[in-house]
């Protein structure tokens, strides 16, 4: 049998404790609250949760170059180098990369991983750069406006021009001291090109010559536009008859309305993957970067007739530039690579494959020389879009340089378009 | 914990059974890893995400807390279609998976006999290939000039501009394909554990097949139905892979918006606010659903 507890006793004891023990006074309460607040107040939690600014106020990393490490990791865009055999991991071996390895003994990992400037920055390198970690890349190849943004954030190493004799000797004058990187302190161009329209003549059934063609309801669901905000807005500015470099917020709002009206016709907003879409026949006409189409033509199917044009309203003029992200692990080897590809012979080898303008002096002449034996190379040497004349360039515009506040406003507008 | 002492002793009342303190201590200890996990990987990130959503600033200069509650209004005003689309897609996919998955699970559990394990294995088989690769494969197989449509077009069965990829149906199809096993497996488990003698008993009581199903099988499979629906609805509502790979600009889901804001624009407050809105919308949906089916079924 269990013994029944005596409840009367229990109540009595509780009452006694209440009357006799020291109770927490109001003053104590304030005291304890103060101690607690010091260690775990709402304000301190909020402060701990704030996200530090990514911008670097002082340079990170050494100011002198270390020794060559015998290894280099390079990130570049697809269809941007000659390659004889890309291995299963997408690592390019052969062609220029093999020549570089042979000449320098540097183990080279060259990967065609960049599809879109924002995407690469956002998903591949941003978090490392923001938290002072190496990105895993020694060379990244970014479009001019992204270089400007990376410089503003303090994310790029300063280049050692004395380690780049080929570059300083062979760079074309037009590429020296560009608008996005004064005195080429952080970058040198890999290649330059134009944004125009690529299309399959057999699918469209007619010649394309205007930005208006991207608004033709006959091509509903077969039109591609770019997810690169600046490229796409520039096109609409041309259509509106505005110089992109002077575009205002009102212009952007108007361009956004135009893009929203166009959206039902658009298959997708693409990065460099527009080339796959065009090759697969998913899009018939799309915004396109000049050189890609020449590379695609080499591999086009029998029933395809891929072409590229600069719209009569205008097109975009840009360059992609090699730069070294801060805390890169093999910066000396990265300099060696930059120097190597500015050898006119090597630059010719690359250009004959990629069909984008080379920033290296003498390349056009050397390609013309090869053209005596190879008709394709003769075409390349004379192509008015690979080597844009002053007349062609007059019908092009670069991107507007946006500060971060302006960029945020543009981005909000553009999101309304691409995010449906 | 605190034993409420009645003021008047009731001689007949049994005192509450008191567990030994050691048993209670062990119970908490066993719960601790689970609770710790929830705190560390759910509650704390959620709190942090909520605080982030109320910050303002830029990526370059950093984000600081300003209690900017207005962001929720702004985000809702900017992306109502995507929110609506995510929930509607999730609903359609859940219903479709149920329509396909229930007969399938029923057949496996009740009629497959010695093939039961083999068929179950086939349901799980796609999981051996990465989710993204599987979705990407559809994109290639169904491309406008791909092996499927291209062939049909070249023999003249389809017009030249026919397409499947980058349509709403492609996104829904991809989602249904990818999430079907999440519906089938819990349904199978609850159908499989139904005691056959219960069905025989129903027959003995002159119930026909239809009413046996409606009054015995279906109610007994409700726990699996609820679990399967939740396992489908919740991830589908937050999915962005299918809309990204198989969709077009008019099929964007809220997951895509979160992905772009967080990873491409580095606009953490906006991304966090959208995540919270999605979470709230899903929670409301789940509560309504659980109430309709009866919460006691949750535990089976």
**pTM for the full predicted model:** 0.77
Interchain pair A415, B161: CB under 8 A: no
Note down pLDDT in tens along chain B; length 300 residues.
444 444 444 555 555 566 677 778 888 899 999 999 999 999 999 999 999 999 998 888 888 889 899 999 999 998 999 999 999 999 999 999 999 999 999 999 999 889 999 999 999 998 899 999 999 999 889 988 888 888 888 888 888 878 898 899 999 999 999 999 999 999 999 999 999 999 999 999 998 999 999 999 999 999 899 999 999 999 999 999 999 999 988 899 999 999 989 888 888 999 999 999 999 999 998 888 888 876 555 454
The answer, yes or no, to whether residue A408 has pLDDT greater than 50, is yes
- In chain B, residues with a C-beta closer than 8 Å to the C-beta of A301 are 145
- The minimum CA-CA distance between A364 and chain B, rounded to whole Å, is 37
This complex has an ipTM of 0.71
Interchain pair B9, A7: CB under 8 A: yes
- The minimum CA-CA distance between B271 and chain A, rounded to whole Å, is 13
Buried b (16+ CB within 10 A) or exposed e, B142-178: bbbbbeebbeebeeeebeeeebbbbbbebbbbbbbbb
Interchain pair A50, B62: CB under 8 A: yes
Query: What pLDDT, on a 0 to 100 scale, did the predictor assign at position A10?
Result: 55
Query: What pLDDT, on a 0 to 100 scale, did the predictor assign at position A61?
Result: 54
Buried b (16+ CB within 10 A) or exposed e, A348-371: bbbbbbbbbbbbbbebbebbeebb
Lowest mean pLDDT among A197-201, A257-261, A377-381: A377-381
Residue A70 tokens read as 């015998």
- What are the phi and psi torsion angles at A379 (to 5°)? -60, -45
Query: What pLDDT, on a 0 to 100 scale, did the predictor assign at position B27?
Result: 87
Which residues numbered 27-86 in B keep a CB inside 8 Å of some CB on A?
48, 51-52, 55, 57-65, 78-79, 81-82, 85
Residue B259 touches partner A, C-beta closer than 8 Å: no
- In chain A, residues with a C-beta closer than 8 Å to the C-beta of B144 are 280-282
- In chain A, residues with a C-beta closer than 8 Å to the C-beta of B150 are 281
- The minimum CA-CA distance between B166 and chain A, rounded to whole Å, is 7
Report the residue of B140, B159, B264, B268 to disrupt the A interface, i.e. the one with the largest count of A CBs within 10 Å. B264
Residue B238 tokens read as 């937050």
The answer, yes or no, to whether residue A59 has pLDDT greater than 80, is no
Query: What pLDDT, on a 0 to 100 scale, did the predictor assign at position B300?
Result: 45
Interchain pair A46, B51: CB under 8 A: yes
Residue B204 touches partner A, C-beta closer than 8 Å: no
Report the residue of A204, A261, A282 to disrupt the B interface, i.e. the one with the largest count of B CBs within 10 Å. A282
Q: Do the beta carbons of residue B205 and residue B245 sit within 8 Å?
A: no
Which pLDDT band holds residue A26 (cuts at 50, 70, 90)? low
Residue B78 tokens read as 């900017």
Q: Calculate the average pLDDT of chain A.
A: 87
pLDDT digits (tens, 9 = 90+) for A277-310: 999 889 999 999 988 888 788 788 888 999 999 9
Interface A–B counts its CB contacts (< 8 A) at: 123
Q: Which residue do the tokens 């600009």 mark?
A: B249
User: How many residues are there in chain B?
Assistant: 300
Interchain pair A51, B256: CB under 8 A: no
Query: What pLDDT, on a 0 to 100 scale, did the predictor assign at position A1?
Result: 42
**Cβ burial, residue A229 (10 Å; 0-12/13-18/19+):** buried
Interchain pair A282, B143: CB under 8 A: yes
Residue of chain B nearest A282, judged by CA positions:
B144
Query: What pLDDT, on a 0 to 100 scale, did the predictor assign at position B232?
Result: 95
What is the distance between the alpha carbons of residues B247 and A396, in angstroms, rounded to a whole number? Answer: 32
Report the residue of B2, B82, B132, B144 to disrupt the A interface, i.e. the one with the largest count of A CBs within 10 Å. B144
- The minimum CA-CA distance between B35 and chain A, rounded to whole Å, is 21
3-state secondary structure chain B: CCCCCCCCCCCCCCCCCCCCHHHHHHHHHHHHHHHHHHHHHHHHHHHHHHHHHCEEEECCCEEEECCCCHHHHHHHHHCHHHHHHHHHHHHHHHHHHHHHHHHHHHHHHHHCHHHHHHHHHHHHHHHHCCHHHHHHHHHHHCCCCCCCHHHHHHCCCCCCCCCCCCCHHHHHHHHHHHHHHHHHHHHHHHHHCCCHHHHHHHHHCCCCHHHHHHHHHHHHHHHHHHHHHHHHHHHHHHCCHHHHHHCCCCCCCHHHHHHHHHHHCCCHHHHHHHHHHHHHHHHHHHHHHHHHHCHHHHHC
Residue A392 in 3-state DSSP? helix
Query: What pLDDT, on a 0 to 100 scale, did the predictor assign at position A121?
Result: 92
Of the candidates A143, A194, A232, the one whose C-alpha atom is nearest the C-alpha of residue A316 is: A194
**Cβ burial, residue B25 (10 Å; 0-12/13-18/19+):** exposed
Interchain pair A51, B260: CB under 8 A: no
Q: Is the backbone of residue A77 left (phi > 0), alpha (psi -120 to 50) or beta?
A: beta
Q: Do the beta carbons of residue B254 and residue B260 sit within 8 Å?
A: no
- In chain B, residues with a C-beta closer than 8 Å to the C-beta of A41 are none
pLDDT digits (tens, 9 = 90+) for A337-348: 999 999 999 999
Residue of chain B nearest A5, judged by CA positions:
B15
Mean pLDDT across the stretch A326-353? 94
Q: Do the beta carbons of residue A191 and residue A172 sit within 8 Å?
A: no
What is the distance between the alpha carbons of residues A210 and A311, in angstroms, rounded to a whole number? Answer: 5
Residue B195 touches partner A, C-beta closer than 8 Å: no
DSSP character string of A218-248: GGTT-EEEES-HHHHHHHHHHHHT--GGG--
- The minimum CA-CA distance between A259 and chain B, rounded to whole Å, is 12
pLDDT digits (tens, 9 = 90+) for A103-161: 999 999 999 999 989 889 988 898 888 888 999 999 999 999 999 999 999 999 999 99
Interchain pair B60, A53: CB under 8 A: yes
- In chain A, residues with a C-beta closer than 8 Å to the C-beta of B6 are 7
Interchain pair A47, B65: CB under 8 A: yes
How far is residue A211 CA from its own chain's centroid? Answer: 24
Q: Do the beta carbons of residue A266 and residue A226 sit within 8 Å?
A: no
Of the candidates A116, A113, A115, the one whose C-alpha atom is nearest the C-alpha of residue A135 is: A113
Query: What pLDDT, on a 0 to 100 scale, did the predictor assign at position B32?
Result: 93
- The minimum CA-CA distance between A116 and chain B, rounded to whole Å, is 10
Which pLDDT band holds residue A12 (cuts at 50, 70, 90)? low
- The minimum CA-CA distance between B140 and chain A, rounded to whole Å, is 8
In A55-103, where do the E strands start and end? Answer: 71-76
Interchain pair A419, B150: CB under 8 A: no
């Amino acid at each position: 049998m269990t013994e029944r507890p005596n409840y009367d006793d229990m109540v009595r004891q509780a009452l006694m404790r209440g009357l006799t023990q020291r109770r927490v006074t109001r003053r104590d309460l304030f005291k304890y609250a103060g101690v607690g607040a010091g260690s775990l107040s709402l304000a301190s939690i909020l402060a701990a949760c704030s996200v530090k600014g990514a911008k670097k106020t002082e340079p990170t990393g050494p100011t002198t170059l270390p020794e060559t490490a015998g290894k280099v990791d390079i990130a570049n865009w697809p269809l941007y180098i000659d390659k004889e055999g890309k291995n299963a991991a997408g690592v390019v071996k052969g062609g220029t990369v093999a020549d570089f390895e042979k000449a320098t003994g540097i183990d080279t990992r060259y990967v065609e991983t960049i599809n879109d400037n924002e995407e690469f920055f956002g998903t591949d390198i941003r978090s490392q750069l923001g938290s002072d970690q190496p990105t895993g890349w020694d060379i990244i190849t970014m479009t001019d406006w992204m270089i400007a943004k990376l410089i503003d954030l303090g994310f790029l190493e300063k280049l050692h021009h004395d380690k780049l004799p080929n570059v300083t000797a062979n760079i074309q004058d037009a590429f020296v001291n560009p608008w996005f990187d004064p005195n080429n302190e952080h970058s040198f161009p890999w290649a330059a090109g134009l944004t125009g329209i690529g299309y399959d003549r057999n699918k469209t059934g007619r010649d394309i010559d205007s930005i208006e063609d991207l608004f033709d309801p006959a091509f509903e669901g077969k039109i591609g536009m770019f997810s690169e905000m600046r490229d796409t807005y520039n096109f609409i500015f041309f259509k509106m008859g505005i110089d992109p470099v002077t575009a205002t917020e009102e212009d952007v709002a108007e361009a956004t309305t135009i893009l929203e009206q166009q959206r039902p016709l658009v298959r997708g907003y693409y990065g460099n993957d527009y080339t796959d879409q065009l090759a697969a026949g998913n899009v018939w006409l799309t915004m396109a970067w000049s050189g890609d189409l020449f590379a695609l033509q080499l591999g086009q199917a029998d029933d395809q007739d891929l072409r590229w044009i600069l719209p009569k309203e205008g097109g975009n003029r840009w360059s992609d530039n090699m730069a070294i992200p801060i805390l890169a692990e093999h910066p000396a080897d990265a300099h060696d690579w930059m120097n190597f590809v500015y050898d006119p012979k090597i630059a010719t080898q690359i250009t004959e494959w990629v069909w984008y303008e080379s920033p290296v002096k003498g390349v056009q002449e050397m390609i013309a020389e090869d053209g005596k034996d190879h008709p394709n190379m003769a075409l390349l040497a004379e192509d008015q879009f690979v080597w844009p004349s002053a007349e062609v360039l007059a019908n092009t515009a670069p991107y507007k340089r946006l500060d971060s506040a302006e960029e945020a406003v543009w981005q909000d507008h553009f999101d309304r378009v691409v995010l449906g | 914990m605190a034993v409420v002492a009645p003021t008047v002793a009731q001689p007949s009342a049994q005192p509450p059974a008191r567990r030994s303190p050691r048993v209670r201590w062990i119970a908490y200890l066993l719960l601790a890893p689970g609770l710790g996990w929830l705190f560390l990987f759910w509650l704390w990130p959620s709190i942090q995400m909520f605080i982030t959503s109320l910050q303002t600033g830029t990526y370059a200069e950093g984000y600081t807390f300003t209690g900017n509650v207005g962001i929720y209004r702004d985000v809702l005003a900017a992306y109502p279609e995507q929110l609506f689309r995510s929930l509607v897609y999730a609903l359609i996919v859940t219903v479709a998976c149920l329509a396909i998955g229930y007969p399938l699970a029923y057949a496996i559990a009740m009629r497959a006999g010695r093939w039961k394990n083999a068929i179950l294995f086939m349901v799980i088989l796609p999981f051996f290939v990465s989710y993204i690769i599987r979705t990407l494969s559809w994109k290639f197989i169904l491309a406008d000039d791909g092996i499927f449509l291209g062939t049909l077009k070249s023999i003249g069965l389809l017009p030249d501009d026919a397409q499947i990829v980058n349509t709403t149906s492609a996104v829904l199809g991809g989602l249904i394909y990818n999430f079907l096993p999440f519906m089938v497996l819990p349904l199978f488990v609850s159908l499989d554990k139904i005691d056959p003698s219960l069905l025989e008993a129903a027959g003995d009581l002159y119930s026909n097949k239809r009413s046996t199903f409606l009054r015995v099988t279906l109610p007994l499979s409700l726990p699996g139905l609820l679990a399967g629906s939740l396992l489908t609805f919740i991830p589908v509502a937050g999915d962005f892979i299918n809309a990204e790979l198989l969709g077009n600009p008019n099929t964007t889901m809220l997951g895509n918006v979160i992905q772009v804001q967080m990873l491409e624009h580095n606009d953490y407050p906006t991304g966090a606010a959208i995540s919270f809105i999605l979470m709230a919308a899903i929670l409301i949906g789940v509560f309504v659903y659980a109430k309709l089916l009866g919460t006691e079924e949750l535990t089976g």
